Amino acid sequence: MAENKSLGKILGKGKRGVVRRGKFKGNVCAVKVPNAESTAINRLETESFWLKELNKYNIGPEFYNFYEGSISMEYLDGVHLKDYLKTSSEIKTKSVLKKIMKQCRVMDKLKVNKFEMHRITTNVIVVKNNPVLIDFERCKRVLEPKNVTQFSQFLFKKGKYGNQEKLIKLLKEYKSDFSEKSYKELLLYFF
């Protein structure tokens, strides 16, 4: 396996990992290494597994390699969702948020829970108006995933969607059957 070579510039730091700009097979990439202050075990192994799985559905940065405890992945030349939302037009914002919702739906259908949807503004990087979900170290397969419902709650808190009772009803319907019909009703509510 090729080596993940870190160039040292820190791109981001979380509780369990530090992302640095690096090189993989001569190309610029992002290299995620364990945060020395974290006591979490095998988180990057978990993240590399889920990146490989979810890349099949165009979710997450492209996975390159897992080597000696670090992950090489696509370098995302974009901005965090929180910064994007401050400057983008309403039309572009709705388009990006709808794309995130669609990725949440795919993960729900796969019975995969990301467990980071409550911090969505820092767990999405927008590259040329396309959102890329990041940070999959807590992902796991579950019977009742909550990606769509958690993202819906985020949208409701951040937006001007009015009827909370209607949203609660729609979310209950979605959680009860995860059907395409109930998902489409949520899309209509928000978009």
Mean pLDDT computed over every residue of the chain: 89
26 pLDDT band, cuts 50/70/90, is confident
- Residues 61 and 83 both lie in one domain: no
Q: Can you give the pLDDT at residue 20? A: 87
For residue 81, give the amino acid letter: L
- Residues 60 and 94 both lie in one domain: no
Q: Can you give the pLDDT at residue 19? A: 87
pLDDT value at 39 more than 70: no
- Residues 68 and 86 both lie in one domain: no
Beta-carbon contacts of 58 under 8 Å, excluding residues fewer than 6 positions away, are none
pLDDT value at 175 more than 70: yes
Calculate the alpha carbon distances from 93 to 59, 73, 148, 190 in Å.
19, 26, 18, 12
Mutual orientation of helices 90-109 and 147-158 as an angle, nearest 10°?
160
- Residues 124 and 36 both lie in one domain: no
Mean pLDDT comparison of 116-125, 149-158, 181-190, highest-scoring range = 181-190
Q: Can you give the pLDDT at residue 119? A: 76
130-133 β-sheet, strand order: 79-80, 124-127, 130-133
Q: Can you give the pLDDT at residue 86? A: 94
Domain CATH code at residue 49:
3.30.200.20
- Residues 104 and 50 both lie in one domain: no
Two tokens, residue 58: 């165009």
15 pLDDT band, cuts 50/70/90, is confident
180 pLDDT band, cuts 50/70/90, is very high
- Residues 48 and 101 both lie in one domain: no
Q: Can you give the pLDDT at residue 97? A: 96
Domain CATH code at residue 99:
1.10.510
- Residues 108 and 173 both lie in one domain: yes
**Boundary-marking domain end, from 21, 43, 73:** 73
121-161 pLDDT, tens per residue?
A: 889 999 999 999 999 988 999 999 999 999 999 998 887 67
Q: Can you give the pLDDT at residue 1? A: 44
**Boundary-marking domain end, from 49, 73, 97:** 73
Calculate the alpha carbon distances from 83 to 5, 51, 92, 178 in Å.
29, 24, 13, 31
76-100 pLDDT, tens per residue?
A: 999 999 999 999 999 999 999 999 9
CA terminus-to-terminus distance, the chain: 45
Least confident of 1-15, 50-64, 170-184: 1-15
- Placement of tokens 């927008």 in the chain: 126
- Residues 41 and 68 both lie in one domain: yes
- Residues 138 and 157 both lie in one domain: yes
pLDDT value at 116 more than 90: no
pTM listed for this prediction: 0.90
**Boundary-marking domain end, from 73, 89, 104:** 73
- Residues 86 and 179 both lie in one domain: yes
How many structural domains does the chain have? 2
- Burial category of 116 from C-beta neighbours within 10 Å (exposed 0-12, middle 13-18, buried 19 and up): buried
Domain coverage including residue 150: 79-190
